[in-house]
């Protein structure tokens, strides 16, 4: 296939992983983004995403694994469920560590890697008109960012069941929280009120803890989504401490109240998002195609921490297809859609199920509290969301998953 060039819209994880992949395979590529590395680095907190082993392996292949997971990573999920008659605490272990790096460190470094290797990058506002222009200048446009650009890809109705956010979010980086032993992500559930993800993050100031509160609308945790840190820092910190004490005791036990505080005014993010899966591609006025990736393709609630991993996987599939296929036509677009579908929709379907769990999923959580091999299998499937969805999609599948991972059959892998 003779290629003139590929345009990538967005310099998030999808855009950068794809750009670096194409660069590595000597495919001409240009990344278009609205912010320079310096603007990203000094900006507000972007997210609190985790990268699991399969994503870290892609970083290693691209030569951009700058934060060795053996030093910067974590090795397990520490679970705590409150609000039931009995508080449940249990742990699931990974086979390989995952890691959480502040994207204000991560993205600028990968942008630098791409530019240092001779990459082309254009900075400026990106809208539908700009993408149409790219379609006249490039053989393919991969849209991995841009709020205006997302509207060009229609939602897929049967994969987009919600018309409003299912959680209200409050994410921040904090001083004064001691890591669990072994070092892991705290997965805290307060029944009827929401979840807390307690995340060992490498921040701009070094090792710290990110707290992502996932508030059920109308529950007691929702107050954090509306609290104004800029109006009274101390009052905000006290409100967070009160919420931890009342709803998330396993985290509160490791808090040093005297030193507990938000790391800084730019280290807080509040909001909400509506989960959606959009069509894989559209044809542009030039006759060429635009393929959706990352948030332009699939937006998931962060409760499972899968958005960045899905975006990286999607970018990898697109990159391989570009390097291998004969033409960048509609057949190419269908190939990309087919090859990434199980993983990307597995992330979306599984996450939507966790936001509104059916009884068999609640039963799975209860069973994990009594069966560590089962909990380990569920935890390891964070690297395989297609397998995870296959394990929770129906009561019959969940029963089979539990049976396969009972203590006396722990050696069987899902």
Sign of CA dihedral 239, 243, 249, 254: negative
**Cβ neighbour number for residue 326 with a 10 Å cutoff:** 8
Q: H helices then E strands: how many in the chain?
A: 16, 16
**Cβ neighbour number for residue 125 with a 10 Å cutoff:** 9
3-class state of residue 276 by DSSP: strand
pLDDT for the residue 2: 59
Token pair for 282: 């559209």
What proportions of the chain, in percent to the nearest 5, are helix, strand and coil? 45, 25, 30
Token pair for 30: 């240009």
Q: Do the bridges between strand 194-203 and strand 184-190 make them parallel or antiparallel, or are there none, so unpaired?
A: antiparallel
**Where are any strands of DSSP class E within 135-274?**
140-143, 168-175, 184-190, 194-203, 206-215, 261-262, 268-271
Domain spans in the chain, listed from the N-terminal domain onward: 6-34+124-162+274-354, 168-271, 357-409
**Mean pLDDT (whole number) for 62-77:** 98
Specify the CATH class of 6-34+124-162+274-354 in words: alpha beta
| Angle CA 322–328–329, to nearest 5 | 145
Q: Cα–Cα distances in Å, from 275 out to 90, 189, 223, 343, 345?
A: 29, 20, 22, 16, 12
Specify the DSSP element, H or E, that contains 89: strand 88-99
* Residue 52: φ, ψ to 5°: -90, 175
User: Does residue 199 carry a pLDDT above 70?
Assistant: yes
User: Does residue 193 carry a pLDDT above 80?
Assistant: yes
pLDDT for the residue 409: 46
Task: Report the C-alpha gap between 225 and 217 in whole angstroms.
Answer: 10
pLDDT tens-digit readout, 330-373 = 999 999 999 999 999 999 999 999 999 999 999 999 999 999 99
Evaluate if pTM is beyond 0.85.
Answer: yes
Query: Lowest-pLDDT range, 55-69, 317-331, 400-414?
Result: 400-414
pLDDT tens-digit readout, 235-284 = 999 999 999 999 999 999 999 999 999 999 999 999 999 999 999 999 99
Q: Cα–Cα distances in Å, from 63 out to 7, 21, 39, 319?
A: 22, 10, 24, 16
Q: Do the bridges between strand 6-9 and strand 29-33 make them parallel or antiparallel, or are there none, so unpaired?
A: parallel
Task: Report the C-alpha gap between 152 and 378 in whole angstroms.
Answer: 36
What number does CATH give the domain 168-271?
A: 3.30.9.40
């Amino acid at each position: 296939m003779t290629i003139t060039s590929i345009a990538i819209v967005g310099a998030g994880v999808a855009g950068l992983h794809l750009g670096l992949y194409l660069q590595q395979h000597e495919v001409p590529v240009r990344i278009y983004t609205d912010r320079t590395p310096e603007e990203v680095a000094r900006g507000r907190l972007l997210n609190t995403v985790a990268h699991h082993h399969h994503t870290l392996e892609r970083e290693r292949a691209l030569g951009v694994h700058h934060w060795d997971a053996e030093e910067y990573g974590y090795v397990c999920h520490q679970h705590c469920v409150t609000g039931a008659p009995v508080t449940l605490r249990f742990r699931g272990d990974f086979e390989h560590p995952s890691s959480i790096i502040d994207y204000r460190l991560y993205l600028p470094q990968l942008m630098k890697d791409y530019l240092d290797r001779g990459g082309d990058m254009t900075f400026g506002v990106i809208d539908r008109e700009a993408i149409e222009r790219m379609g006249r200048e490039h053989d393919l446009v991969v849209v991995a960012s841009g709020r205006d650009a997302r509207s060009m890809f229609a939602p897929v109705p049967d994969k987009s069941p919600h018309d409003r956010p299912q959680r209200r979010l409050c994410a921040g980086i904090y001083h004064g929280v001691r890591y669990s032993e072994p070092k892991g992500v705290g997965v805290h559930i307060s029944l009827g009120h929401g979840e807390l993800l307690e995340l060992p993050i490498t921040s701009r100031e070094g090792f710290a803890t990110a707290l992502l509160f996932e508030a059920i609308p109308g529950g007691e945790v929702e107050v954090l989504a509306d609290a104004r840190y800029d109006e009274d820092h101390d009052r905000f910190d006290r409100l967070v401490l009160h919420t931890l004490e009342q709803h998330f005791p396993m985290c509160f036990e490791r808090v040093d109240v005297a030193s507990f505080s938000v790391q800084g005014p730019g280290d807080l993010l509040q909001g909400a998002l509506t989960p959606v899966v959009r069509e894989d591609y559209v044809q542009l006025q030039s006759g060429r195609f635009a393929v959706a990736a990352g948030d332009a393709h699939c937006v998931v609630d962060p409760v499972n921490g899968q958005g960045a991993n899905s975006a990286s996987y999607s970018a990898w599939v697109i990159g391989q297809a570009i390097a291998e296929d004969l033409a960048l036509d509609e057949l190419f677009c269908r190939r990309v859609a087919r090859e990434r579908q199980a993983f990307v929709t597995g992330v979306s379907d599984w996450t939507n199920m966790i936001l509104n769990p059916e009884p068999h999923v609640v039963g799975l959580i209860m069973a994990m509290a009594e069966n560590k091999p089962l909990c380990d299998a569920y935890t390891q499937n964070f690297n395989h969301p297609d397998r995870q969805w296959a394990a929770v999609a129906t009561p019959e599948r969940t029963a089979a998953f539990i049976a396969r991972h009972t203590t006396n059959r722990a050696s069987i892998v899902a």
